[in-house]
Chain A
Amino acid sequence: CSIISEYVFSLPLTPQFASSFSNESALPPNLLLPTNLVDPDRLKRPPPPADSSLPPLRKCDAAVPAHLTPVQTWVESLERQDSEPLGVAQLHPDVFAVPPRLDILHSVETWQRNYKRISHAHTKVRSEVSGGGRKPWKQKGSGRARHGSIRSPIWRGGGVSHGPRGPTSYYYMLPMKVRVQGLKVGLSSKMAQDDLHIVDSLNIPTPDSQYLLDLIRHRHWGESVLIVDVGEDFSENILQATANLKTVNVIPAIGLNVHSMLKHEAIVLTLETVKFLEDKLLWHDERYTPLYPFKLPYSDFP
């Protein structure tokens, strides 16, 4: 056995992609590379430096703490496939540069999956199985083991002793601040990994899905893109373009959630969405504990 292992370790470890046909490429056609490999094309335009001299298209509305600086990103346009960025936008660090708390992301993601779950698995207990009220044979004298009913769990066709019981609900609520922090951590993680793109508006020239796919391919945004906008009315072009696409989805800003952020590789926000998210998420840092549910009116609810 040791002789064989010595022989195995002496072989060259590089995989041989040589094929019998000389004009074929070295890589096999069915090779699947992971999509999150660092693509050298993406490193062409680095994010704008903190001390760039460009006037920002958008400044933070809320006060930024003195020891933090706003995050700067390019503002792009969807009008043309190869258009240059329109300018620089400043984002609040308490929403887009929060420390990466993966444990909060995990707990919010599991909560999102489980709080809606109702499992309908149900088995009958020995009292619920039909029959089994009578003692099958007398206690003593028959020579067989003693039994009280034909539906006890040790019998074939009997009830299940410790099985799932009825519809069980897995509902629970994480604290509101944990869920808010999950959103902030998700946005910060996407920003830190260059997967967050800011766009001035969602106007595209054609309702063609291929245009969007070509644009995403050209800009190396990733496999799947989540487009977020404020308000219920979107332009017809973007709705039609994304209607038949499985990997590119449009949602309103109130529908932003950690599961969707993790499922899609890239996230595209408009400037109004950024303002909306900053308002809503930063309010939780400076709010009172609710005197009555927040559904009822308060004088300065965001």
Chain B
Amino acid sequence: MKVLVPEVAHYFRVALATPFHIMAALFGSTVLRRAWLGPSSLCCRTPGAPVSAAGLRFVSNAAPEDNRSPIIESTEEYKYVERLIPSSRIPTPPKHTGPTPSGWIPPADSPPSLPYMIRRSRMHNIPIYTDVTNSNRKLTLIRKVEGDIWALEKDVRQYLQEVTGKELPTQVNEVTMTLKVKGHFDKELKDWLVSKGF
């Protein structure tokens, strides 16, 4: 039976992590095979006493544990992780006096004095969207309307009459406060609303 010297014992504990066939090539003894299989066969023996059941006793098992310093938790490095955590709120855009280079135009400081109000989306854009159904039906949708939606519908119809010269069918949904217009007019309507100051 091999007697383990203290300096070799910690090599053995590290070697427990290596595969068995490499360990067998290194040491090549049946005693070690029994000791290796002892702690690994957890189903048939209690994990509390694998070493004693295998017949080997690590002489220096307790000694290295006592000489180690206690674990210190340091919280100074947390800031390196905390600065990587993303924000959940959309920031308000910085103050711009006119149109920005990307084409985004901020809303007017005071809302225009009209009977209706169209809020900006959460990304601070005009809430006008286009839709295509059955590949030939085009719709323009104006969302987030507050106030008198019928006045907005009248103004939209009149503006599009001037722009296109056609009477376009519109649909007002008073419950969801949305306005649908037949055709794709998102660019024109967005410029028109921005010029009004929404």
- What separation, in Å, do the CA atoms of A171 and B82 have in the docked complex? 37
Q: Are B122 and A298 touching (Cβ within 8 A)?
A: no
B75 contacts partner chain A, Cβ-Cβ < 8 Å? no
List A residues 178-210 near B (Cβ within 8 Å): none
Give the most central of A67, A283, A288: most B CB within 10 Å.
Answer: A67
Q: Does A301 lie at the interface of the complex (its beta carbon under 8 Å from any beta carbon of B)? A: yes
CB of A26 closer than 8 Å to a CB of B: no
A291–B89 Cα distance when bound, in Å, is: 12
Q: Closest approach, in angstroms, between the C-beta of B171 and any C-beta of chain A?
A: 17
**Once the chains are docked, how many angstroms separate the CA of A275 from the CA of B88?**
19
The reply to whether the CB of B133 lies closer than 8 angstroms to some CB of chain A is no
B111 touches A299 (CB 8 A): no
Is A300 part of the binding interface, using a Cβ–Cβ cutoff of 8 Å? yes
Contact A287 B177 (CB under 8 A): no
**Inside 8 A of A101's CB, which chain B residues have their CB?**
175
Please determine whether A294 and B88 come into contact, CB atoms closer than 8 angstroms. yes
Contact B86 A291 (CB under 8 A): yes
CA distance A297 to B82 in the complex (A): 10
CB < 8 Å neighbour of A287 from B85, B89, B111: B89
Q: What CA separation (Å) do A301 and B82 show in the bound complex?
A: 13
A300 touches B122 (CB 8 A): no
Q: Is A103 an interface residue (CB 8 A)?
A: yes
Task: Check if A298 sits within 8 Å of B111, measured CB to CB.
Answer: no
Which residue in B90, B146, B175 is a CB contact (below 8 Å) of A286?
Answer: B90
Interface size class of A (residues with CB under 8 A): 10 to 19
By the criterion CB–CB under 8 Å, are B175 and A299 in contact? no
With a cutoff of 8 Å between Cβ atoms, the chain B residues found around residue A286 in the complex are: 89-90, 122
A67 to B109, CA, bound (A): 11
Query: What are the interface flags for B74-89 relative to A under an 8 Å C-beta threshold, 1 for contact and 0 otherwise?
Result: 0000000010011111
A65 at interface, CB cutoff 8 A: yes
Tell yes or no: A61 within 8 A of B by CB: no
State which of A65, A66, A103, A299 has its C-beta within 8 Å of the C-beta of B88: A299
Query: In the complex the two chains form, what is the Cα distance from A287 to B122 in whole Å?
Result: 8
A285 at the B interface (CB under 8 A): yes
Q: From residue A121, how far is it (CB to closest CB) to chain B in Å?
A: 36
A300 touches B111 (CB 8 A): no
Q: Is B190 an interface residue when CB atoms closer than 8 A count as contact?
A: no
Identity of the chain B residue whose Cβ is nearest the Cβ of A100 in the assembled complex: B175
Kindly state whether residue A131 has any CB partner on chain B within 8 Å: no
- Whose C-beta in chain B lies nearest to the C-beta of A101? B175
Task: Kindly state the separation between the CA atoms of A287 and B123 in the bound complex, as whole angstroms.
Answer: 9
Q: How far is the CA of A116 from the CA of B117 in the complex (A)?
A: 40
Chain B residue contacts of A301, Cβ below 8 A:
88
CA–CA, A294 and B89, complex, Å: 12
**A68–chain B nearest beta-carbon distance, Å:** 8
A251-302 with Cβ < 8 A to chain B: 283, 285-288, 290-291, 294, 297-301
Chain B residue numbers with a CB within 8 Å of A66 are 109-111
Segment 166-188 of B: residues with Cβ below 8 Å from A: 175, 177
A288: B residues at CB distance < 8 A:
87-90
Chain B 85-113, CB-CB to A under 8 Å as 1, else 0, gives: 11111100000000000000000011100
Q: Give Cα A294–Cα B86 distance, bound, in whole angstroms.
A: 11
CB-based contact A298/B88 at 8 Å: yes
Contacts of A294 in B (CB 8 A): 88
- Known A-B contacts A65-B119, A66-B110, A66-B111; the reply to A287 vs B175 at CB < 8 A is no
Interface membership of A231, Cβ < 8 A: no
Contact B175 A283 (CB under 8 A): no
Inside 8 A of B111's CB, which chain A residues have their CB? 66-67
Q: Given contacts A66-B111, A285-B122, A286-B122, are A299 and B87 in contact (CB under 8 A)?
A: yes
Query: Nearest chain B CB to A93's CB is how many angstroms away?
Result: 11
Separation of A66 and B107 alpha carbons in the complex (Å): 11
Q: How far is the CA of A158 from the CA of B47 in the complex (A)?
A: 56
Tell which of B86, B122, B177 touches A299, judged by Cβ atoms closer than 8 Å.
Answer: B86
In the complex, what residues of B have CB within 8 A of residue A163's CB? none
Closest to B174 in A: A99
Given the known inter-chain contacts A67-B111, A99-B177, A103-B175, please indicate yes or no for A283 contacting B119, CB distance below 8 A.
no
Docked Cα-Cα span, A103 to B88, in Å, equals 29
What CA separation (Å) do A103 and B174 show in the bound complex? 12
Besides A99-B177, A286-B122, 6 more A-B contacts (Cβ < 8 Å) are: A287-B89, A288-B88, A291-B86, A294-B88, A299-B85, A300-B88
